[in-house]
Structure 1
Amino acid sequence: MGADQNIVWQDAVASALEWWRDAGIDSLADETPRDWFATPTPPPAPKRVVANQPAAPIVVPLPATLDAFLAWRTGPDAPEAGWNGGTPLAAQGSPAAELMVLVDTPERDDGARLLDGAAGRLFDRMLAAVGHARETVYLASLCTVRPLAGRIAPEVEERLGEIARHYVALVAPKRLLILGNAASRALLAMDVTHARGSLRRVNQLPAIHEHTTEAVASFHPRLLLERPAQKAEAWRDLQMLIGGTGS
């Protein structure tokens, strides 16, 4: 007689499935016809997503006229618009003045105008020593709102410098008095200690004006209040400003 023909089908099916699994078959084919010899299509490459990637900054051209620039400078689109330093302080005096004065920031004790406190009183005496008053100069600031720390952050200094150069080009003064380190770096690309002592020349932007402004860098009045011994050096700077010759 032949072999025992009594087959337990459950065991047979389990044995076949185990064999297929050992052979690497882990899925069943459906009833849809397919070309098993076709080259498989690679899946699309996943998109690379960088979390918290900042959007590229939108560079908006600076206003091309002085009136438009002054309106923009204290408006909601200026770099300082979001600072918590109070109301922006606009420039003072006439843009037609021969002498423009650029400081770094408003002072802590400034009220409705730039240099309104102790540093401003010393500033007034400095102007008087060279035959000027606030009414005969154009006084502006590198930033219109005082930073909370009292200093301009490095990440905005370059942008404010670009704005200041554009500003001076629009005003096109005959002479420029630069007071303080931040203002000196913005216009002359060097600290006051290196910039002072010589008559500097600020080349205007050709698209606006082609003439050159003579500039003198000196110590800010707030520093002179802290270091009175530097007043003699500041006086020499002012003499150079009105004399027009460098040392």
Structure 2
Amino acid sequence: MDTVEVAGLRIRYQRAGQGPPLVLLHGAYEDSRIWRRQLDGLSDEFTVVAWDAPGCGGSDDPPPDFTGEDLGNALAGFLREAVPGRPHILGLSMGSGIALELYRAYPSVPASLLLVSAYAGWAGSLPPEEVERRYAQVLAELDQPPEQFIPVWLPTLFTDHADPAAVEETGAIMADFHPSGMRALLNANAHADYRDVLPTIVVPTLLLYGTEDVRAPLSVALEMNRLIPGSTLVMIPDVGHMAAVEAPDAFNAQVRRFLHGVTAG
């Protein structure tokens, strides 16, 4: 793994391949290891870069008062230091919110957006009571041993016919989280609302969801598609929230098809 320093934080990342840059932003409790199948599967045509967000993996924990705006600025600084050219930005779940923070402040930076299992922020896509339920759940988990709560997460991320080895691998990555880092990230983005950003997006945008996603269900996907002008919505059949892990071949094929269309244009 490589390291850059951004605003006093060391950010670790993985890089593979050559070609147009594709930057991968993981979700909550995860780090760049979740993208193993994309680093392997897409690096034949693209320079695939997967960061460990501040507070995750090998990166430094941000301060407790870190904000969503700070996350967007950290990503912009990371891109300046580590990614040549104008990148395609792919964000999964929490990572999609970070991508939208980047777009809000730096709309000229992304060549395109690929928003996977995405929300307009929890507060922008979910009922207020569900936002508070999720916030309270994660806040309580940060004081618990991971073996107590990670098994509760996994059925909400995968379908019951997902490869058990892939589910186990994901659980092991999630269990390796930083409590202080996750607390800072939760405080930064748990109540984010990006509905004002979505209509301003003018770069090509792919919305990619699993049909069986119970965390970001079809109603969320359809509303994202309605609010982002000209966006393309693709549903991958019979997979859940972690489509990139559960169905990597189908996932990578959709990413490749979209990027071919963008780069050809």
What TM-score bracket applies, with the shorter chain setting the length?
A: 0.3 to 0.5
Higher Cα radius of gyration: 1
* Structure with more relative contact order (C-alpha pairs < 8 Å, separation 6 or more): 2
How does the TM-score come out when normalised to structure 2? 0.36
- The structure in which a higher percent of residues are helix is 2
Taking structure 1 as the reference length, the TM-score comes to: 0.38
- Pick the structure with more strand per residue: 2
